[in-house]
Structure 1
Amino acid sequence: MAPIVALFLSSVLIFSVFSPVNSLSHNYYEKTCPHAESIIAYAVKTATSKDKTVPAALLRLHFHDCFIRGCDASVLLNSHGSNKAEKDGPPNLSLHALYVIDSAKKELETWCPGVVSCADIVALAARDAVVLSGGPSWDVPKGRKDGRTSKASETVKLPAPNFTISQLQQSFSQRGLSLDDLVALSGGHTIGFSHCSSFQNRIRSFSAKHDTDPSINPSFAAKLRGVCPKNGKSKNAGTTMDPSSTTFDNTYYKLILQKKGLFSSDQALLSNPKTQNLVKKFATSREAFSKAFVNSMIKMSSLTGGQEIRKNCRVTDPGEFWSRNFTVAKRSSKAYQHRWKPYFSSQFKRKQIKT
C-alpha cells in the first residue's frame, strides 16, 4: 500500500502546485493601476528597439518561470546565502532580458506602489514580445502573486532539448497541460537563438551506429556542424531557431516536416500520431497555430501559487538591488494618460485572438 499512498500524495502535490487559479481576471488592475499594461508594453518595445533578441528572451523567461512552481516570478529571484536560486540553475544560465522586467517594475512602483506583481509583469511582457514579433495578441488574465521560494535544484523539472515525446508528455501532463498544449507551446521556438550545446548530441557521436541523428536532414546537420566547432570551445556558437527568427510565424512546424527541427524534442513531435497531425495542421495554417498558441499560453500562465507583491523583482525583501532613493512625484491623471496611453494602442491589439 505504501507505494500507492506515495503516488497519491505525489499527484496531490503536483495538482496543488500547478492548479489554475480562478481569481485571475482580465480587469484586475482596472481601478488600482489602469495603465499597467501600457507601462509594461512600453518597456518591452523600448528594449526590443535596441535588441532584437529581447522578445524571444522574454517568452522563454515566462515559460521557464511557469514550469517550476507555477507563474510566480520565482525565476527572477537572486541567489542568497547558501540558497542557489532558479536563475542560477544550468538550464537558466542563458536567460537574459531580465532588466526589461526590472525597468517595467520600477516605473510601476512609481505610479502604483505595491500593486502589480512581478509575475504579472513577466506574463504581460511575454504577450507583448509575441505581438512585437508579428504574432497574435490576447487578453492576459491578471492577479498573480509573487513566490518566495526559488531553488536551482528544481530547474531539472524543465523540459530538456533532448527529451523524447514520452518525456515531454509526462512533463506537460504534470502541469495540467495536454499534447495539444505541448505542440502549440513548442511553436514558441519560432523565434530566438540556440547555443550548440542544446543540439550538439544530434550532429556528432549520436550513437554507436550513427554519427548523426537519423531523424535530422543530412544537409541541415552538415550546416550545423559548420556552425558548431567540434572541440566546443566557442561558448557563444549557435544558430537561430529558424530563418525568420525575429518573426513569430509557423515556419517552425514547416521545418520539422522537412526534418530540420533544431532540437531532438522538436523532431520528437513527429513520433506520436496526434502530435504529428498537429504539426502538419499548424504548418499548413498560421491562423490555426496562432489560436492554439493563445489558448495554451492562457492555460499555462494561469498556473500560479505566489504569496506576495514584491517591491523589487529580484528579492523577497526590499533592499539589495532596489533603490529607494527616488521621489514619487504627484502626477495628474491627464499627464499620466498623455505619457502612457499611446503605448498600448491599436498596435498591440490589432491581431487579438478571440478565445
Structure 2
Amino acid sequence: MVTMVGSVVVIRLLLMVQLLLAMAATGEALDTAYYAATCPDAEAIVHNTMERLHYTDPTLAPALIRLLFHDCFVRGCDASVLIAPTPRYSSERAAIPNYALRGFGAVDAAKRALEAACPGAVSCADALALAARDAVELLGGCRYDVALGRRDGTRSDPWEVDLPAPFARLDDVLAYFAARGFSAEETVVLFGAHTVGGAHCSSFRYRLTGPDSGGAMDETLRRDMLDTCGAADLPLDTDPAAFFDPDTPFTVDNNYYAQLMSNRTLLQVDQEAATHPDTAPHVAYYAASPGAFLQRFSEAMAKLSNAGVLEGDAGEVRKVCSRYNT
C-alpha cells in the first residue's frame, strides 16, 4: 500500500512538471507565414471583424485581452476556454474565475469569416491570438507580430482552471507567473492590461470596509467605490463594476502605473506591486516611461500568446470554436 501511494505521488509530480514545462514553451515552431498558402488573408479577416465590432462595442477589446490570458494560462493557448458547456460535459467556462468572461461572440464572428474564406484552415486558438493582438492595437497599443500555427485543444475541464484570485498575495502571484516562464518584470508589464477594462465590486469590496493588507486605498477613491459598490455582497449578475483606470478606460497607456503609486487602484495584488521589492522599481519605471510600457506590453502579450501551444498533429482545427469537431 505504501509503495502504491508513493507511486501515485511520483506520477502526480511528474505530471505537474510536464505541465509546467509545457506552459513555459515559447511556440518556437510557430510562423508568421503559417497560412501563406492555405489562408493568406487570415490576419486581415480577423482584423476587419475586430475593427467592425470594436466601433460597435468598445468594451469588447479589453474583454478579448482578458480572454486570451484566461485561455493561455490554463493548458496553454489552445482555445480550451472557448468550449461551451453542454448537458453532457462541462468546460472551463463553468469555472468560477471564468464566470464574467466576455468576447466569445467576437471570436466566433472572426472564425465564421475565416471559415467562409478558408474552410478548415485557421484554428480557433490562432483566431483568438490574432483578435487579442488587434484589440491591443485598437486600444492604442503597439501592433506586434503573431506567429501562427496553434492547434485547438480537445479537453476543457473546469477543475483545471487555477488562476490567481483578485485578493491573492503578490508573492503567490509572482510564483504563479514564474512557473509559467514570466519574470517579475514581465508580470508587472502584464498587470498593465488593467490599463483597460474593469472589475466587479466583488473583487475588491472587502478593501472598502475592512483592513487592507495590500496597502491603504486612497480615501477619495475608497469613498467613491463604496458609493458605487455598496457594502453588501451581491450576485455577480447584479454586482456593479468599476473601471481599473477611470481616466482612460479604453486606452492602452501607462496611467495605470501612476495610479498604483498613488494608491488609486482597485485590486490588492496590483497595489502590492507598487511597494514589493521585486516589482516596485518596475512600477516606477513604467509610470515614468509611456513609450517603454507600450513596447514591453506588446512584447509580453506576444510571449503570452505563445504559452504552451499545441502544434503539428496535436489537437485539432475546430470548425466551430465553441465545440469540438467530434
TM score, norm. by length of structure 1: 0.83
Q: Check 1:299–1:177 CA distance in 2 against 1; reply closer, same or farther (3 A cut).
A: same
Instruction: Tell me the equivalent position of 2:325.
Output: 317
RMSD: 2.0
CA contact (8 A) 1:18 1:69 kept: no
- Residue equivalent to 1:180: 185
2:230 equivalent to 1:229: yes
- Alignment of structure 1 residues 266-345 onto 2, 5 Å: 266-303=270-307, 304-305=309-310, 307-317=315-325
Q: Does 1:42 align with 2:48?
A: yes
CA deviations on 1:137-193 (whole Å, 9 max, x unpaired) are: 1111111100011111222x1121111111111111121111121101110110012
1:239 corresponds to which of 242, 248, 251? 242
- Identical amino acids, percent of aligned pairs: 36
Aligned counterpart, 1:121: 127
Greater displacement, 264-273 / 38-47: 264-273
Equivalence for 1:97: 103
1:159 aligns with 2:151: no
CA distance, structure 2, for counterparts of residue 36 and residue 6 of structure 1: 40
Please state how far the C-alpha of 1:10 moved relative to its aligned partner: 2.6
Map Cα deviations across residues 4-63 of structure 1 (whole Å, 9 max, x no partner). 886465323321344222211111111211111111011111111111101101111001
Match of 1:329 in 2: none
Residue 47 of structure 2 contacts residue 134 of structure 2 at CA under 8 Å; is this kept in 1? yes
1:251 is aligned to 2:259: no
Matched residue, 1:27:
33
Larger CA deviation: 160-169 vs 299-308: 299-308
CA distance in 1, matches of 2:90, 2:274: 37
Match of 2:141 among 122, 135, 139: 135
Q: SS of the counterpart of 1:215?
A: coil
Pick closer, same or farther for the CA change 1:38–1:5 going to 2, 3 Å.
closer
Change in 2 beyond 3 A, CA 1:6/1:118: closer
Match of residue 65 from structure 1: 71
How many Å separate the matches in 2 of 1:47 and 1:300?
A: 24
**Residue type at the aligned position of 1:75:** V
What is the rounded CA distance, in whole Å, between the counterparts of 1:32 and 1:7 in structure 2? Answer: 41
Counterpart-to-counterpart distance in 2, 1:180 and 1:71: 22
Deviations 1:37-92 (A, max 9, x none): 11101111111111110110111100110010100000000113453211121111
| 2:15 corresponds to 1:15 | no
Deviates more, 1:244-253 or 1:82-91: 82-91
User: How far, CA to CA, are the matches of 1:314 and 1:224 in structure 2?
Assistant: 36
Q: Distance in 2 between matches of 1:186 and 1:6?
A: 31
Q: Does 1:216 align with 2:221?
A: no
Give me the whole-angstrom Cα distance separating, in 2, the residues matched to 1:152 and 1:167. Answer: 21
TM-aligned CA deviation for residue 197 of structure 1: 0.6
Structure 1: distance between partners of 2:202 and 2:269: 14
Equivalent position amino acid for 1:290 in 2:
L
Comparing 74-83 and 282-291, the one that deviates more: 74-83
Q: Tell me, which stretches of 5 or more residues in structure 2 are unaligned?
A: none
Structure 2 equivalent of residue 74 of structure 1: 80
1:239 is paired with a residue of what secondary structure? strand
